[in-house]
Structure 1
Amino acid sequence: MMNFDERAVVFRCEQDWLYGILSLPEQAASKGVLIVVGGPQYRVGSHRQFTLLARHLAAHGIPVLRFDFRGMGDSEGDARTFEDVEEDLSCAIEKFLTEVPLLSEVVILGLCDAASAALFYAYQDRRVTGLVLLNPWVRTDEGSARVYLKHYYTARIFELEFWRKIWRGNFDYVAAVQSFSRTIGTILTGREKAAARFKENARDKSCSSAPLPERMYHGLSRFKGEVLLIISGRDLTAQEFSDLVQDLPEWQKLLASPQVSRLNLLEANHTFSRREWRDQVAARTTEWIQGETISGNM
């Protein structure tokens, strides 16, 4: 463990000022981590997860920059979705390299739709040599319906409260049947179309209008760096990604590449809210960045 400093940084992105926090070790490695934030939150992260992660990495000699996208947190500008943050990422990396002159490689770490944004961007920037993807967001109507059927309805059958509602006569059978029917209908109408569309779009590297999973596949297939994929066992977003991979040989082949390492935290939720899960993510990310092998489930 080593000492590190933290200081605020500010930089321009087009006409707006963006704000972030740099965690800089006293002896910084040449590979640093840019933490990008998913969803409507800012650089601290849920239950301070990104602050704690940045400090853990910095204490192990890895410089870290975490920042707010335009329109979020302290940063200026209009809010935007994860599909429109490429310029923000480029400007943040430029600032990172300016603040840490010895830095020669950048790893982007993102949770949920920030992982998706990282996949859209990384292959276009040679400075990015690694990705840490936590519970990537691949949401489609059909995929959401399937994961809801597989993981929600099945779990409900074994819940005591579910049977208590039926016993007390408080269960709305009509609403339940309607909801279940809509879920099945979405799956049946979308499954074949999705498979056919994926095969067609997989041949078109420039298909910017393709659905989210196809565009993420293109981004990962074109990225030449190393990837650490971290999946939570108790998270519907993660389950949707895992189900997608199971259904598509193209994804399976891609993730079987030697450049991809995986860590499955079987009991963790979407944001790794318990300390033990956060610590596991931090420790494995540190080891991976420092070149150690990661394998197996936890």
Structure 2
Amino acid sequence: MSYDERALSFRCGDAALVGIASVPAEACKRGVLIVVGGPQYRIGSHRQFALLARHLAAHGIAAMRFDYRGMGDSDGEERDFEAIQDDIRAALDAFVEAVPSLTDVVLWGLCDGASAAAMYAPGDARVRGLVLLNPWVRTDDGVARTTLKHHYRDRLRSPEFWRKLARGQFDYAGSLSSMLKLVRTALAGRPPDQGATASLPERMRQGLHGFQGETLLVIGGADLTGREFCDVTGSTPAWKRLLATPRVTWRRLEEADHTFSRRAWRDQVAEWTREWVTALPGTP
């Protein structure tokens, strides 16, 4: 299907934001708003976001990617992913205005863009679904545990590690120091005080728990961020119950890295997205 691309300029507070909408020639009812993780802009690593938007538009699904405040060509101060809720709303408003046939929207995000989308979604009835790739739930003790669990196991399986060991090129002191530091950090994790702000994983869980639509989770098996998400959610009863519901669909590419940088990985993610968005039921 043919499509055209439209440059959009819209406002969020006092800042002018920039976006690109890829719009099919035929009217469509569902669109995908790509929430960029930072520090990043609307093209994406290896043009991932641009190619995704065009793939969706070529199959009859409108897509928009944008720079939030302080990123790319948009005005304003650079901000943390937890402070872009207004940017997402402004972009969604501009998307719906640019494509009046839309009745609902799916938010698509990678890394902390996925986390921002998950925390935004419960507050906007126009959001029908979420596609979350390698969601960011990073905490100091969480990344320490994940590194201890996966990094050192992977090294022991690596032929290069054993070759270094045989050649006497292995840094025993440095590796031991690094491992002990990770162990101390992992063991230092403790439940927050009653009055303390909830951790990022808990805020993420609360956002997804409050969202009534459906969610597609895509994990790169070789990515530490994706592994940390799986470890955190797999070891927390409330997360396990939430992600076991019929509203959540999982996909995994075992060899894929954080940004799905190979063409085959990128194309598979785009096709999974298209299939899932197309099959998504109408607005409840």
**TM-score interval w.r.t. the shorter chain?**
over 0.9
For residue 223 of structure 2, what is the aligned residue in structure 1? 235
Structure 1 residue 208 displacement after superposition:
8.6
Q: Determine the C-alpha separation between the residues in 2 that align with 1:121 and 1:60.
A: 27
Counterpart residue number, 1:204: none
Tell me which amino acid in the other structure corresponds to 2:216: L
What is the 5 A alignment of 1:198-213? 209-213=197-201
**Helix, strand or coil at the partner of 1:77:** coil
Residue-by-residue CA offset, 1:216-240 (whole Å, 9 max, x unaligned):
0000000011111111111110000
User: CA separation of 1:40/1:47 partners in 2, compared to 1, >3 Å: closer, same or farther?
Assistant: same
Q: How does 1:211-290 map to 2 (within 5 A)?
A: 211-290=199-278
2:78 alignment partner, SS class: coil
Mark the CA change 1:169 to 1:267 in structure 2 (over 3 Å): closer, same or farther: closer
1:163 aligns with 2:159: no
| TM-score for both structures, normalised by structure 2 | 0.95
1:21 equivalent in structure 2? 20
Amino acid corresponding to residue 171 of structure 1 in structure 2: F
Residue type of the partner of 1:269? D
Cα offsets for 1:15-49 (capped at 9, x unmatched): 01000101000113211000011021110000001
State how far apart, in whole Å, the 1-side matches of 2:171 and 2:271 are: 47
Residue identity matched to 2:84: V
Q: Distance in 2 between the 1:77 and 1:250 partners?
A: 37
Match of 1:74 in 2: 73
Q: Which letter maps to 2:30? A: K
Structure-2 separation of matches of 1:233 and 1:148:
14
2: distance between equivalents of 1:168 and 1:68? 49
RMSD value over aligned CA atoms?
Answer: 1.7
Letter of the aligned partner of 1:189 in structure 2? A
CA distance in 1, matches of 2:118, 2:143: 20
For the Cα contact (< 8 Å) 1:28–1:62, is it kept in 2?
no
Structure 1 spans left out of the alignment, 5+ residues: 202-206, 294-298
- Work out the number of aligned pairs and report it: 281
Question: Displacement, 1:292?
Answer: 6.3
SS at 2:7 equivalent? strand
Structure 2 counterpart of 1:70, one-letter code: R
* TM-score normalised by length of structure 1: 0.90
Deviation of the 1:172 alpha carbon? 2.6
**1:19 alignment partner, SS class:** strand
